Amino acid sequence: MGREQAEASARLPLWDAVDRIVLSSEAKTRLTVAPLLVARSLPVVVDPRFDELRRGSAWLGDYGARVAEVLAKPDRSIGGWETAHHALSRFLDGLHALRQAFPAETLALVGHGLTFSLFRAHLMGRERVDFDDWQRLSFCAVAAVDWPAPQLINDFEPAPGAPSMGRGRRHDDV
């Protein structure tokens, strides 16, 4: 299903306006844009500030319950996970650096559900992420943000023609 989503995303007309792609340092973001990079020659920047909320490698029986607790207590480390506040701060620092480095370019940021959920809540003026919002955020969803405000123009939606896949289980279980 992830391959279908990546291929549908690569066909979106939005890529016509993109000057540069920014990826987290996690390999799965490169896989997400692999079909696009076959079709188009766009410069790529890799930046670990856009990595997923750091959570260790231990398997969890109820990943969704852990995420709910992390989102409900954004200033606390739950089970050794990075705090939601720290992950958002790291993400926002990365955005500031991108705006400084590429002020005249349209950037496409390819990242992860938890950090994008934190950023979305931040843009909407919310103190924390609603767990149901995180669950509804489909893998390979696309949003548009205007700069320098920043302001959410189009909320996250799955790429047209791509299957929607909600969250709640560890990505290895999908």
Structure tokens at 70: 């992390």
The band of 168, judged by pLDDT with boundaries at 50, 70 and 90, is: low
Q: Are 122 and 143 in contact (CB under 8 A)?
A: no
| Neighbour count for residue 42 (Cβ, 10 Å) | 14
Question: Domains of the chain (ranges plus CATH)?
Answer: 2-169 (3.40.50.1240)
**What is the model's pLDDT at position 165?**
73
pTM of the model: 0.90
Half-sphere exposure of 117 (CA within 13 A, CB side): 26
| Inter-axis angle of helices 63-72 and 113-123, nearest 10 | 30
pLDDT class of 91 with cuts at 50, 70, 90 = very high
Please choose, from the candidates 27, 47, 2, the residue with its C-alpha nearest in 3D space to the C-alpha of residue 140: 2
Model pLDDT, residue 33: 95
Query: What tokens appear for 66 in the block?
Result: 């852990």
Structure tokens at 51: 């990595």
pLDDT tens track for 1-50 = 788 888 989 999 999 999 999 999 999 999 999 999 999 999 999 999 99
